[in-house]
Amino acid sequence: MSDPGPSACVPGHVAIIMDGNGRWATLRGLPRSAGHRQGVEALRRTVRASREMGIGVLTLYSFSSENWARPASEVRFLLELLRRFIRTDVADLHQHNVRVIVIGDREGLDPSLRSMFEETEALTRNNTGLKLVIAFSYGSRQEITRAVQAIAAKVAEGKLAPQDITPALIGNHLDTAGLPEPDLLIRTGGEQRLSNFLLWQCAYTEFVFIPDYWPEFDAEHLSRAVDAFRQRDRRFGGIKAQTA
């Protein structure tokens, strides 16, 4: 299928909380790792479908700041899955003009994983197609805290005055600086919460909650979520344009 290019009816930025890998596996009598493995397949399907639909930015919550508290064996498995994904998929993403961006806290990460992130971002930096944003070791409160610390340091150095601090300035200090805010946020797995994901950025985002588990997610799910998005009346706090 050829890329139809961006369309006015397609959300420019879709963010996804990929939830339910563990439950998908448990339901089938499989180890949780099998759910995560199938989760990568769903991720590949979703990237492909997003490219084909002409979505501009796809942000995926792949590992939260809070996920470090999971059993060490599961954390190890998820880290290895991410490394493997980068090793096996980045060349193909690059070939399809995808720009990969990683957000989250890189402090304390294994230096070799940090290098993988840096190399992937550098390789794909000039690509002009889909922006694939991988949120890894990401927590929105932590991200906002880092931004506040950076701004406070500039105020302390006299580079900024307190009255220079605006919502736009705060946005420019977040990991997502330069990216549009999500238009549509999808969460699979039946839970209806944000779980510390893009709290600042989702002020006017439309939410779609899907009961199916992430390993089941496919182009059809994405297309239905986009259809639901199209039905929404987005007013951004204003009122509908009046006809005279």
What is the set of active-site residues?
Answer: 19, 67
Residue 104 or 189 with smaller CB distance to ligand FPP: 189
Rg (CA), the chain: 19
Q: Residue 99 class from Cβ within 10 Å (0-12 exposed, 13-18 middle, 19+ buried)? A: buried
Closest distance to ligand FPP from the beta carbon of 23 (Å): 3
Q: Does 62 bind ligand FPP (CB under 6 A)?
A: yes
Ordered DSSP codes for 198-236? STTTTTT-EEEE-SS-GGG--HHHHHHHHHHHHH----T
Question: Quick one: which segment of 6-14, 61-69, 117-125, 164-172 binds ligand FPP (CB under 6 A)?
Answer: 61-69
Q: Does 59 bind ligand FPP (CB under 6 A)?
A: no
**Site for ligand FPP, residues 143 to 172, rule: CB under 6 A:** none
Q: Tokens 């050829």 map to which residue?
A: 2
Q: Does 85 bind ligand FPP (CB under 6 A)?
A: yes
Question: Quick one: which segment of 20-28, 111-119, 139-147, 158-166 binds ligand FPP (CB under 6 A)?
Answer: 20-28
d(CA 221, CA 216): 9
d(CA 196, CA 64): 8
Q: Which residues bind ligand FPP (CB under 6 A)?
A: 18-23, 36, 39-40, 43, 62-63, 67, 78, 81-82, 85, 134, 189, 214
